[in-house]
Amino acid sequence: MSHPLRLGIAGLGTIGAALVHIIQSTDNRLSVSSLRTVEITGVTARTRNKERDFSLDGITWFEDASSLAVSEDIDVFVELIGGDEGPARESVEKALQAGKHVVTANKALLAKHGVALAKLAEEKQVSLNYEAAVAGGIPIIKTMREAMSGNKVNRVYGIMNGTCNYILTRMEDEKITFEDCLKDAQRLGYAEADPTFDIGGHDTAHKLSLLTSLAFGCEVSFSSIYLEGIEEITLSDIEAANTLGYRIKLLGVAQETESGIEQRVHPAMVSKESAIGQVSSVTNAVAVEADQVGSLLLSGPGAGGKATASAVVGDIADIARGLKVPVFGRPCASLKPYERARMRLHEGGYYIALDLLDKPGAFAGVATRMAERDISLKSVVQNQRGKEVDGIKNQAQHVVIITHETTEKAISEALESLINDGNVVGKPKMIRIEKLD
């Protein structure tokens, strides 16, 4: 048997601790499945003397990640620090430059610097593996990077943030407001004290940018993603969706169009009967539509120490077996420049909610403005839950509209005209309706 594969782990938080436990387990499954002994020879973390529930005996402690990254005593640098700059970027670059394989769970780093890091790994003929960066324990990177090599991908989409899915699920099941549900999610540890990264859609966008590159053979372009979070979703929206046979999910969607590649992260209404519509709580799910295999859906835990560490272990096992594949599924020289599609050409049905002044001609004006842009209305529901205007109740009626397929450009122009007419109170809400299997 060849010499042991020596790991240097930077970051001993939830994921790092779970990783150490797996590698140090008595039955040593990783070494057995890899046909090679795998051992930890170096670690680093923010605090050296912190009490931990695993032993670091015989393992060298490094004061910083960069020193660990270039140590002659490691073969693989495992980056679990996080962040797209600072110690994470510096240490990964140094490890690759020193000819070390790298395994990372850092989607932000790869979304911003993935192509440059891939070129460096290719130049040094080492692996850069990142299964844990997208959807936790779901093996979506390996599936797309290796198993689907003979396929032309048409679309990739999914629920990629457990915090958002937990909030939207509870709002529907327990009829509680977004604000109250977010507080509970923070108390239970599903959401951070500052939840912006999750509920604003940034986490999903980082992950989507990596899947887009794998799907369409293009350079990673996080900055090109249309981004919209779930902060404005109300219990009224959830209830309206439920009545109409839909659920609201925060989706990441990427597809190739005639005008380029479309990447978008936003709340969407999906059929309750669809596979993605039945994914609840903190679970993640990613679907890939391709010409040979048809439609695949991978679902499972999208976060958590054990699930994410499991993905890290899979990447380490590949290195131990001598398996090395291009970072984004093909040599960097063959990655196409990213060409952004014109988002406003996106077609589909739409949910529109607005508060309309209760006066003659206002309701007829809605139908007129929609008709002017060839928007066909599937259903219109009007009720008394509108806003007060000048302190008088029910001066504005709440109207919910479902359209047939149309373009985002047409919807946006129609809503702008309605606002200019002066009959709408506040800002109308628009949620896309996605046709998914």
- Supply the residues annotated as catalytic: 207
The answer for 300, left when phi > 0, alpha when psi is -120 to 50, beta otherwise, is left
Cα-based torsion angle of the residue sequence 347, 349, 351, 357 in order, rounded to the nearest 10 degrees: 80
**Cβ atoms 224, 337 nearer than 8 A:** no
Helix axis angle, 162-174 relative to 235-243, nearest 10°? 70
Per DSSP, the three-state class of 369 is helix
Q: What is the 3-state secondary structure (H, E, C) of 114-170?
A: HHHHHHHHHHHCCCEECHHHCCCCCCHHHHHHHHCCCCCEEEEEEECCHHHHHHHHH
Residue 59 corresponds to which amino acid?
A: I
Beta bridge pairs of residue 355: 398, 425
User: Which two structure tokens, joined as six digits, stand for 102?
Assistant: 């790298």
Per DSSP, the three-state class of 399 is strand
